[in-house]
Amino acid sequence: MSLYHEAASILTGPGGGGSLKSRIYNNRALKSSPAHLYALVSETIKWSDLLREVVERSQLLSVEKKLTPVLAVLLAHDLLLRSGIAAAASHPLKLSITRHKTRLNAEFVKARLRRGFSSIDALRASVDLHGGSGKALGNGGPGEEKDGRVPTRPLPHPRWVRINALRTTLEAQLKTTFADYSHTDTLVSLLEAPPTEKMLHIDRHIPDLLALPPRADFTNTVAYMQGDIILQDKASCFPAYLLDPSPEDGELIDACAAPGNKTTHLASLLSERRRVSGTSTKNPSIWALERDKTRAETLKRMVETAGANHMITVKAGQDFLRVDPGNEVWGGVGAILLDPSCSGSGIVGRDEIPRLILPSRDTERQAKPSNKKKRKRGPIHESTVSGGSIIPPPQDREIPSDSITHRLSSLSAFQLKLILHAFRFQSARKVVYSTCSIHAEENEHVVIRALNSDIARRRRWSVLRREGQVVGLRKWSTRGTLSACEGLESGYGDTTEVVADACLRCLIGDGEGTIGFFVVGFVRDLTIGEDNELAPDSGATADCDEEEWEGFSDILDPELNHAWSSSGEMPTGKKKKRKK
């Protein structure tokens, strides 16, 4: 039963910084499968308001004294909403919940009917749409329209699956893993279908990418376990596809490689280009750099599972900013992928992590008959420690606007530094930069500062214009914000309009089923020599406002500190003014 005890520990223990997912997947002391543990914890949080009601009305905690409120909702979740408790039939903890199965099921049905849902599928659809926000589980009226359909609400996020061309083909997977799935031409029809419908949509922008229903789970399939399919958001596929790796590029660098989805996507695309062109080589072509050695181990496992060992060399402990672009070791690098640490403001659910709501033991005590004279009790508040408690996510605390401004300023300075460093590689002719941020400070503003730098103008770097992008992304309609591209100096052939049109943005809730994302490509004209009238690298310090970045202080944002230190791109410390 370590699964439930570890889940309870995660839900009740100190946050320690980082997202729920990172805290689980980066915890090497856990005995349970991180995937199973994360699924249990996140789904229990999502359903906790309804489960609290079921546990309280069944008086479970008043009978089973050894059960804690958090264990009660975890076990109730698997009993009522999954295939059962993951434990031996005779285990005491399992018996403490299964002997009350009839009562718990009855209370669950009553709770569903009180909310106006005629079926469990309709209730699931509503919970999935609202992500545990509580809107779907309130008692404010019927949960369905008169015809039994869930009322129109924002569409949920689909499950994206990338077919790994290193091991299989789209056609092969459609005949095996997805043989019993029907096809639909539109993403909207897939997301509006009943949650139990087996349906898929072949994406029109990214090759070998499928959209599946939000609840589709492939983690136990043979195809997933042997690396034939990879779970990867559509927006996350943009960077490698925009870089469009080819044999003519020579060697490639993924500068911030862990956990490895984009790295293996690069390998998959390059392998396909080699196959089509008839080019073959046994030598690795992709350098995957990861400063943090723990994350590098995850990267290595991902590369091995994807079958990309023959194409990718993992450089564990290697900081991209400490690589010497002039060293002959890197002389063959023609293309670089940069997906650095960012604010993560575009990640679905980052700002709306649901709360865990626990049942109260006091509620069960009040329900028990007693000969004693009852004294009046005040209302039971959900903030009490013993029960009815809410464990709020760390994101609920308000962050002063000046702290946000400082974060974005510091992040963008680092992001710019990475781009300028990439521009210095002797043979580099393509660079792709991406973030999962919605802030212009990390996106268009960084692009403009990079283009305005002396190194960009001296070495003839410009944006990869829309007409030069791969066909799938050339057709992508959402582009950069024109007003955010103001300030472009007369550089190497670019205009404000050209730069904005070269940038690609993904927006949450626009019907494309992506997270918030930004990506842009830079290309270098090698037909003309460098402009030596500009002082070498003189633009580097000017574009960083003459401040040297040495990391965030510990009091600013523990979660951000964690993300930066684990991504392996930053030294720690505080800002200090550079002496003039």
Average pLDDT over residues 389-394: 37
Helix (H) or strand (E) segment spanning residue 54: helix 34-58
Where residue 532 falls among pLDDT bands split at 50, 70, 90? low
| Per-domain boundaries in the chain | 3-114, 116-153, 159-236, 247-345+406-560
Q: Is 80 exceeded by the pLDDT of residue 6?
A: yes
> pLDDT value at position 438?
93
Is 339 flagged in the annotation as binding?
Answer: yes
For position 422, what pLDDT does the model report?
Answer: 98
pLDDT digits (tens, 9 = 90+) for 228-284: 999 999 999 999 999 999 999 999 999 999 999 999 999 999 999 888 877 766 567
The catalytic site residues sit at: 436
pLDDT tens-digit readout, 164-222:
999 999 999 999 999 999 999 999 999 888 878 899 999 999 999 999 998 888 988 99
Give the pLDDT band (50/70/90) at residue 2.
confident
Checking if the pLDDT of 409 tops 50, the result is yes
Rounded to a whole number, what is the largest CA-CA distance in the chain? Answer: 96
For 515-526, what is the mean pLDDT? Answer: 94
Looking at domain 159-236, its CATH class is alpha beta
The β-bridge partners of 242 are none
Q: Mean pLDDT across the stretch 528-555? A: 42
**What is the predicted pLDDT for the residue at 280?**
67
| pTM for this model (two decimals) | 0.67
Q: Is the pLDDT of residue 545 over 60?
A: no
Report the percentage of the chain scoring pLDDT > 70.
75
Whether residue 506 is annotated as binding a ligand: the answer is no
Does the annotation list 237 as a binding residue?
Answer: no
Average pLDDT, the chain: 80
Q: Are 49 and 36 in contact (CB under 8 A)?
A: no
Q: Which two tokens stand for residue 3?
A: 């699964």
Residue 529 confidence (pLDDT) = 66
Residue 386 in tokens: 């013993």
> When comparing pLDDT for 362 and 338, which is higher?
338
Could you tell me the end-to-end alpha-carbon distance of the chain, in angstroms, rounded to an integer?
62
Asked whether residue 290 is marked as a ligand-binding residue, the answer is yes
The string of pLDDT tens digits covering residues 23-34 is 787 677 888 888
Q: Residue 146 contacts by C-beta under 8 Å, 6 or more apart in sequence?
A: none
pLDDT of 24: 82
259 is in an annotated binding site: yes
Encode pLDDT of 89-125 as tens digits: 889 889 999 999 999 999 999 999 988 888 888 888 7
Tell me whether residue 261 is annotated as binding.
Answer: yes
Range 247-345+406-560 has CATH code 3.40.50.150: yes
For 345-368, write each residue's pLDDT tens digit: 888 654 334 567 778 766 544 444
Distance CA 150, CA 129 (A): 10
Q: Can you tell me the mean pLDDT for 291-300?
A: 92
Residue 282, pLDDT score: 57
What's the pLDDT score for residue 174?
Answer: 98
Answer whether 521's CB lies under 8 Å from 242's CB: yes
User: How confident is the model at residue 14, as a pLDDT?
Assistant: 61
513 pLDDT higher than 90: yes
What are the pLDDT digits (tens) for 439-463?
A: 999 999 999 999 999 999 999 999 9
**Residues in CB range of 470: below 8 A, 6 or more apart:** 241, 242, 244
